[in-house]
Amino acid sequence: MADKFLSVIFTESEIRPNEAQELTQILESGACDWLHLRHPAASEQQMQALLDSIPNQLRSKIRIHSHFSLIDEFGLAGAHLNSRWQEWDGDCSFTRSCHASEELSNCGQYAYSTLSPIFPSISKPGYKADFELASLSDAISQSHVVALGGVTPDKTPLLQALGFEGAAYLGYAWQGDLLHNLRQIKIMPRFSLQYITNGVTPAEVAEEVEAVLKGGCKWVQIRMKDASDATVAEAADKCKPLIDRHHAILLLDDHPELAKAVGADGVHLGKNDMPPSEARAILGPYAIIGSTANTLEDIANILAHGQSDYIGLGPLRFTSTKKNLSPTLGYDGYARILAQPVGLPVVAIGSVGIDDVAPLLSRGASGVAVSGAIRRATSPQTTTARFVSALSDCALASVKHN
């Protein structure tokens, strides 16, 4: 499987009233690797007008489903072939639609193929797969396959565990708040294992971060509570090239202004830090904002403020890496608080070990945040890989149980 899990967004069939603005937001957000322009009834003139309204520097991420002559004219990424367009003799990158696993054996020459519907469709009620998810691993290993159909961000850990190279969003992307949806699309493929640094110097932080990234972690939070802004900025500058190389996410603990200045993906806010709405005003619409909670009341307050993209819930048990610790929750606390969906993904925090992964996910957490269990390990890289494997096993086990 490729190092980067792709995120692909398909447009709806009909051109939306403000679509050019929305497509620009999608492409600017960093949440989307490829945008599929899919308007089967649109004329070439309508497509030209739409593409004209999208900034030139963003068009190279667009794949088009018809009017392929526009590819060269607008510098698009390539053509997508489907039941209406089976072939085209242009010189460009091709992707293709598949609707049965048997079709994938003939798709080795494409940049990727979409296989659909993987889950019951959101945009086409009643449209669902005629194959079993557990049987797909062998078929998708033969080609570069992107899952389409009923895909939502919370399903991406399962798709990764099955061996898909990416996820394509259609119905989910266009329902509700587009900007919120884009942030969820960006975070969830990387969300399940988060590493929180504990180094005192920028060099120590960078050493920690390099090890966990090599082990497969895709999410790093730099936490240097007693450090100056200059020291945190130096640590971020050392880590940013590593983060980019591994297609990971970099957050700072608090420091919204600093996060914006160093090009971090966002911030994690403690209970006594700046309100999420103020951080959003500083960071802009595409940044990731996480908020800490210890109780149901905390979660209700986070949801009331809005602007948070995930919740860090804990601590599971006593941890020496954090001062002013809130009351520990234990497994029973997670089960009680997460008995009903809270509306945002939840990462469990506070002295989490590998043996805690399955119990926490079974009680409603979407991922785990780890510091000491990895940092104090004989091989932080190997221990990180073990966490990644445990999380993947949990995702695959969910197929067998459903």
42-65 pLDDT, tens digit each: 999 999 999 999 999 999 999 999
Please list, in sequence order, all residues whose beta carbon lies within 8 angstroms of the beta carbon of residue 11, skipping any fewer than 6 positions away.
19, 23, 35, 36, 37, 38, 39
Task: Classify domain 6-188 at the CATH superfamily level.
Answer: Aldolase class I (3.20.20.70)
333 closest CA partner among 354, 358, 308, 315: 315
Neighbouring C-alpha atoms within 13 Å toward the C-beta of 229: 9
CATH 3.40.190.10 fits 191-392, yes or no: no
Given a contact cutoff of 8 angstroms between Cβ atoms, the answer to whether 360 and 303 are in contact is no
Mark out the alpha helices in 99-169 (DSSP H runs). 137-140, 156-162
∠ CA 196-200-201, nearest 5°, is: 110
The domain locations on the chain are 6-188, 191-392
Given a contact cutoff of 8 angstroms between Cβ atoms, the answer to whether 53 and 20 are in contact is yes
191 closest CA partner among 298, 287, 310, 342: 310
**pLDDT at position 139, please?**
82
| Model confidence pLDDT, tens digit, residues 137-196 | 888 877 899 999 999 999 999 999 999 999 999 999 999 999 999 999 999 999 999 999
Given a contact cutoff of 8 angstroms between Cβ atoms, the answer to whether 378 and 140 are in contact is no
Domains 6-188 and 191-392 share a fold: yes
| Model confidence pLDDT, tens digit, residues 12-42 | 999 999 999 999 999 999 999 999 999 999 9
| Model confidence pLDDT, tens digit, residues 301-344 | 999 989 999 999 999 998 766 666 679 999 999 999 999 999 99
Compute how many other C-beta atoms are within 10 angstroms of the C-beta atom of residue 400.
Answer: 8
Alpha-carbon gap, residue 94 to 113, rounded angstroms: 9
Please list, in sequence order, all residues whose beta carbon lies within 8 angstroms of the beta carbon of residue 243, skipping any fewer than 6 positions away.
209, 213, 220, 249, 250
